[in-house]
Amino acid sequence: MRFESRSVRALAAGLEDGSLSAVGLTRDALERIAASDLNAFIDVQPEASLAQARAADARRASGQRGALLGVPVAHKDIFVTRDWRSTAGSKMLADYRSPFDATVVERLAQAGAVCVGKTNCDEFAMGSSNENSYFGAARNPWDPAAIPGGSSGGSAVAVAAGLAPLATGTDTGGSVRQPAAMCGITGIKPTYGRVSRWGMIAYASSLDQGGAMARSAEDCALLLSAMAGFDPRDSTSLERPDEDFARGLDQPLAGLRVGLPREFFADGLADDVRAAIDASLRQLEQLGARLVDVSLPRTRLSIPAYYVIAPAEASSNLSRFDGVRYGYRTGDYTDLRSMYERTRAEGFGAEVKRRILVGAYVLSHGYYDAYYLQAQKLRRLIAQDFAAAFAGVDVIAGPVSPTVAWNIGERTDDPVRNYLADIYTLPASLAGLPGMSVPVGFGAGGRPVGLQLIGNYFAEALLLRVGHQFQQHTDWHLRQPGG
């Protein structure tokens, strides 16, 4: 009962005609997860998964239908779950169990998707390589010496290695798009506010957004349709009707105007990545798209803007981890103050501490105007740059990452180098725009390359259509590591 390389529609057809069962698919996923040495999962609870699978089979037997009913899904361990630990990749929450399910988890359970476990990620989603996880780095299935990207690295690995057909991720500054690119799968981060943040452990609330990861754009569309929707429990959730993102995938691309921001193709883009991106753009032209030169002049400024705003919000969000309300508490303290101090000193990793320090600094009296306020102004200007570009194009295309995946350990003592590598994903995050990564080939060392597509607000269906049409004429998304 292998789900490997089968689309979600094919799985649903098999579940419908009885040739597959949710229990069989779930057993298969659990076996593959147990046999994998890629460190993609933080918590697996076979009994909880099998109970959900049996329930899905019973729902189908009683006549219920649904694209995801009985299909396995892996959740990034940023979404809280009752039946699995919810760690955010941190020692602080290493044994934490949530009393409730995140809205995304709840919505997918209602759709009948079967959770097969919680995936590895950078601590509190801070990072681009998965190496900041308290549970150790996940490994890239295309080359186990390579990072899988981050922070949703475990989710990307789970899909790329065929451990689960679908996975959820979260993207604050690129964490769905970048690991999808580095693992050769498809990933989409929707418009900010589309997917509920209720039960998503907070990193930077004005940027955090849940997203979908799968082999193909069509599978992402089916997953995102179930994830997204208004949630009164999240005050930033957008009050829009639910949308079927898989509708209209078959519409051809003739006449589509694709903007290429000059700044995304400037110095710093590795030759191997550039070659794969160029080839994919020629393919889009063959499908009827027209390439248009555009400019996003503040692209470089997105790095300082993001690395002020995100740590500022993180320093506030992470103040709740005080040894009293959630998770870890030091065993060694003399009074309340030393309990707080030691709990946080022992519970957080180096990158999280670095960001709390930066965040507290840029918000402090005397520095707020110089850093935080300036960053907010830049953020507005970056959004305006996009608005100007979208006046003349339908989508924007470029690389996701300046290079293919680097080696585990290669950059761990150089955090700024990691920050700079976020240059192409941060602008859309700061503007709240939807962004997607589509596999378009391989670079040095046979490591995957992703094409980024950025849409205007609420243009998820269009992005998915572009990805789907591209995938109807290419097979990069069907390639498998070791295949």
Would you name the residues annotated as active-site residues? Answer: 76, 151, 175
Residues 112, 148, 149, 174: which binds ligand GLN (CB under 6 A)?
174
Q: Is 312 in the site for ligand GLN (CB under 6 A)?
A: no
Find the part of the chain contacting ligand GLN (CB under 6 A) among 122-130, 221-229, 237-245, 359-367: 122-130
Q: Is 171 in the site for ligand GLN (CB under 6 A)?
A: yes
Q: How far apart are CA 304 and CA 419, in angstroms?
A: 9
Q: How many CB atoms lie within 10 A of CB 387?
A: 12
Is the Cβ of residue 174 or residue 327 nearer to ligand GLN in the bound state? 174
Beta carbon of residue 127, minimum distance to ligand GLN (angstroms, whole number): 5
Using CB under 6 A as the binding rule, the residues of this chain from 320 to 379 that contact ligand GLN are none
Residues 125, 181, 256, 461: which binds ligand GLN (CB under 6 A)?
125
Is the Cβ of residue 174 or residue 199 nearer to ligand GLN in the bound state? 174
Query: How far, rounded to the nearest angstrom, does the alpha carbon of residue 283 sit from its chain's CA centroid?
Result: 26
Find the part of the chain contacting ligand GLN (CB under 6 A) among 50-58, 95-103, 167-175, 180-188: 167-175
Q: How many CB atoms lie within 10 A of CB 181?
A: 32
Beta carbon of residue 122, minimum distance to ligand GLN (angstroms, whole number): 7
Q: Is the bond preceding 175 in cis, omega lying within 30 degrees of 0?
A: no
Using CB under 6 A as the binding rule, the residues of this chain from 205 to 264 that contact ligand GLN are none
Q: Is 317 in the site for ligand GLN (CB under 6 A)?
A: no
User: What is the signed CA dihedral for 170, 172, 178, 180, rounded to 10 degrees?
Assistant: 20
Beta carbon of residue 86, minimum distance to ligand GLN (angstroms, whole number): 16
Q: Is 175 in the site for ligand GLN (CB under 6 A)?
A: yes
Is the Cβ of residue 15 or residue 405 nearer to ligand GLN in the bound state? 405
114-141 burial, b at 16+ Cβ within 10 Å, e below that, comes to bbbbbbbbbbbbbbbbbbbbbbebbbbb
CA angle in degrees (0–180, nearest 5) for 42-415-378: 105
Beta carbon of residue 330, minimum distance to ligand GLN (angstroms, whole number): 26
Residues 72, 127, 398, 432: which binds ligand GLN (CB under 6 A)?
127
Q: Is 450 in the site for ligand GLN (CB under 6 A)?
A: no
Residues 310, 318, 395, 449: which binds ligand GLN (CB under 6 A)?
310
Reduced to 3 states, what is the DSSP secondary structure of residue 167? strand
Residues 39, 130, 168, 172: which binds ligand GLN (CB under 6 A)?
172
CA 251, 253, 254, 256 torsion-angle sign:
positive
Q: What values do phi and psi take at 169, rounded to 5?
A: -145, 175
Is the Cβ of residue 81 or residue 175 nearer to ligand GLN in the bound state? 175
Residues 52, 81, 151, 225: which binds ligand GLN (CB under 6 A)?
151
383, two tokens? 């959004």
Which residues are CB-neighbours of 359 under 8 A, at least 6 positions away?
310, 311, 312, 313, 314, 315, 316
Q: Does residue 21 contact residue 70 with C-beta atoms inside 8 Å? A: yes
Using CB under 6 A as the binding rule, the residues of this chain from 412 to 441 that contact ligand GLN are 422
Beta carbon of residue 206, minimum distance to ligand GLN (angstroms, whole number): 13
Beta carbon of residue 437, minimum distance to ligand GLN (angstroms, whole number): 12
Q: How far apart are CA 379 and CA 64, in angstroms?
A: 46
Beta carbon of residue 151, minimum distance to ligand GLN (angstroms, whole number): 4
Is the Cβ of residue 101 or residue 171 nearer to ligand GLN in the bound state? 171
DSSP strand pairing (166-171 vs 72-76): parallel
Q: How far apart are CA 263 and CA 48, in angstroms?
A: 48
Find the part of the chain contacting ligand GLN (CB under 6 A) among 154-162, 171-179, 278-286, 454-462: 171-179
Q: Which residue is nearest to ligand GLN (CB)?
A: 175
Q: Is 126 in the site for ligand GLN (CB under 6 A)?
A: yes
CA atoms within 13 A on the CB side of 374: 14
Q: Report the greatest alpha carbon distance in the chain.
A: 70
From residue 180 to residue 209, what is the string marking binding to ligand GLN with x (rule CB under 6 A)?
A: -----------------------x------
CA separation (Å) from 56 to 30, 90, 106, 112, 241?
Answer: 16, 32, 14, 6, 26
Is the Cβ of residue 141 or residue 150 nearer to ligand GLN in the bound state? 150
Q: Give alpha helix (H) positions in 236-333.
A: 271-286, 302-317
Beta carbon of residue 443, minimum distance to ligand GLN (angstroms, whole number): 20
Adjacent-strand bridge partners of 454 = 396, 435
Is the Cβ of residue 125 or residue 146 nearer to ligand GLN in the bound state? 125
Total residues contacting ligand GLN by CB under 6 A comes to 13
Beta carbon of residue 230, minimum distance to ligand GLN (angstroms, whole number): 23
Is the Cβ of residue 280 or residue 429 nearer to ligand GLN in the bound state? 429
Q: How far apart are CA 128 and CA 437, in angstroms?
A: 15
Strand order in the sheet with 448-455: 41-43, 114-119, 72-76, 166-171, 209-214, 186-189, 435-442, 448-455, 395-399, 257-261, 290-294
Q: Does residue 182 contact residue 405 with C-beta atoms inside 8 Å? A: yes
Q: Is 173 in the site for ligand GLN (CB under 6 A)?
A: yes
- Which spans of this chain sit near ligand GLN (rule: CB under 6 A)? 125-128, 151, 171-175, 203, 310, 422
